[in-house]
Structures are given as C-alpha cells and as structure tokens.
Amino acid sequence: MKNFRDFKPEERRNYITLSTGEYYPDILEDACRLYTPVLETFSRLLHSSESSSALFLNIASTPNQWMRTQLCRVFRKYVSPETPVEMLKKSTKAKQICDEFGDGFRPIPIVQERFDARPFPDEALCAVLWEYKDRGKKGYDLTEKFFDMIQAKFPDLCIWGPKRSGADVQAKSIWKDYPNSSRPLDFIISSEDKTIIYAVGLARYDGDRGGAQEDDRTGGYKNCSDEILNYVHLHNLKTKIIFLNDGPGLLLGSMWEDYSRIEERYPNEVKVITLRMIDERLTEERLKGE
C-alpha cells in the first residue's frame, strides 16, 4: 500500500479534489440582491446614531443573528478595521467593546459622509461581503463527501461527528478519562454500537496555504497525533488517526512533505489521505488493525 510520500509530484494533482468557484463580476447581481437589505439597515442605524459607539450598540441589539453579523462586518469596514469581527459579533459584550475600543472608532460624521458618498447599493462592498458567504463551505462539502464515502465503503461500520456544520466531538466524550478536555475531533469511525473506536480524525480543505499557516497546521497535527496516541498506547487501544486533507493547497510550498513526515512518525497508526485516496489507501482491515 502506497504511503502519502509515495505519490509522485507529477501525479499528485490527480489525487486532489477541486471545489468549483464563482466568477467575478457574475456574482454582483446576486450579491447586491442579498446584501441590499443589510446596507439599508446599516444606513438607517448610521443616520439615527449620535456616535460610532452608539451605532455599534444599536447594531448589537439587532435581534436577527445573520443580519447582526453582516452589520458587524460593515461596521468593521467603515468604523473599526482593527477590531476582529468575531469580537464584534459578541452582542453581550457590546458595552465592553465600546469602552475598550471606542476611542479608535472613526467619528460618526466621517462615517456618514463616506457611506453617503458611495453608490447604493455599493457593489464593491457587496462583493466583499459575498466572500464571507461561503466561508467554510468547502470544508463542509469535504466532510459530507467523506461521510458518504465511508458509509458506502464500510456499511458495517459507523461514522459520526458533524457531517457539515456543528460542534466538534470532544475526545473526552468518547474516552471519559481522556486528559485533555478540549481535544476536538471532526469524525469518529467505530463499530455500529459505537463501543469500539477504530479511528478518529480531522478534516480540512486547503484552498490556498503557505508560510506560517503551513507551520500552524502541521504543528497542530503533530501535537494532536502525539497526544491521542499517547492515550491509545497507554490504554492498549487499536484506534488509528486519519487526517483528511484535500484541495490545491496541498500542492503548495512544503505541505505534501510536511504531511508525509507526520504520517511517517507513526506509519501504522496515522494516515493522511485525500478523498481520491480512500479506495486505494483505506481498508477495513487496516482500520480494525487486523
């Protein structure tokens, strides 16, 4: 059976799954249709707020979560580019955010002037917001396809976890005495009654990676495999680790080499695969350790 390293550079692209994208400016009509209500709401709040902090507090009180998130993204572009969107989305901490970051907010008269100077709807801003729309979708598509392929290939086994979106499975929820209470897993492959855990793993779609991102990913995988296998060895389990990675980012920089090294550290217990490698490299015998 071929190892991850054994796939030659000239053939690797044949084992990569490419997600389809969308063309510019074709997306503009749909983007403007989707985000015009967001810009209308932002305009109303902008022109009825006496300060930028008041604007944010008004945004934070918006009841619809999707609308509130989009308004936060517009707020960040116009008012506070240094404040992370994830922080802005925490509506319960709106007052704290204003207290800590409010001094850096752009003054409301300038925001109103800049906003009103743009065409409505602002195609450029709608296109920026559109980029957020499917963020994570390629990863969700990858795990969904993986679940379907595993269920079809191994009908007597069970695969579970968040098939698309949803909370990760914590290792501690399957092994009660697992030492790390925050070790997330994307999927678990087990017996049908879930009493025997054959494999656990993570799934990522690498669209475009490089530099520090490569180091973060591979470093995280090394730590994950070391930690899980320490527990597996201590308890004499046969659980394997599967890192499902796919996408053109695998062909960039040192990603393929880095993943090969991770697999080679535990050659019989860690497997790095793409969707197109499943039939060739993932067998029930290997999963069960037979």
70 belongs to a structural domain:
yes
2 belongs to a structural domain:
no
pTM of the model: 0.74
CA angle 7/8/9 to nearest 5° reads 120
Query: Do 195 and 225 belong to one domain?
Result: yes
Given 133, 168, 192, which residue is the final one in a domain?
A: 133
Q: Which domain holds residue 82?
A: 28-133
Query: Do 144 and 283 belong to one domain?
Result: yes
Separation CA 235–CA 21 (nearest Å)? 45
Count of the separate structural domains present in the chain: 2
Specify whether the CB–CB gap between 15 and 250 falls below 8 A: no
Query: Do 127 and 156 belong to one domain?
Result: no
Given 133, 159, 184, which residue is the final one in a domain?
A: 133
Segments in the chain below pLDDT 50 = 211-212
Q: What is the pLDDT of residue 214?
A: 55
Query: Do 33 and 119 belong to one domain?
Result: yes
Q: What is the pLDDT of residue 208?
A: 66
127 belongs to a structural domain:
yes
Query: Do 85 and 155 belong to one domain?
Result: no
Query: Do 60 and 105 belong to one domain?
Result: yes
Given 133, 162, 190, which residue is the final one in a domain?
A: 133
Query: Do 51 and 146 belong to one domain?
Result: no
200 belongs to a structural domain:
yes
3 belongs to a structural domain:
no
**Would you tell me how many other CB atoms lie within 10 Å of the CB of residue 228?**
25
Query: Do 222 and 248 belong to one domain?
Result: yes
Query: Do 98 and 215 belong to one domain?
Result: no
For residue 192, give the amino acid letter: E
34 belongs to a structural domain:
yes
105 belongs to a structural domain:
yes
Query: Do 119 and 152 belong to one domain?
Result: no
Query: Do 35 and 153 belong to one domain?
Result: no
6 belongs to a structural domain:
no
Which among 241, 240, 239, 243 is positioned nearest to 274, based on CA atoms? 243
Separation CA 145–CA 35 (nearest Å)? 30
244 three-state secondary structure: strand
Q: Where are the alpha helices (DSSP H) in 64-153?
A: 65-78, 85-88, 94-101, 108-117, 123-133, 137-153
Query: Do 176 and 269 belong to one domain?
Result: yes
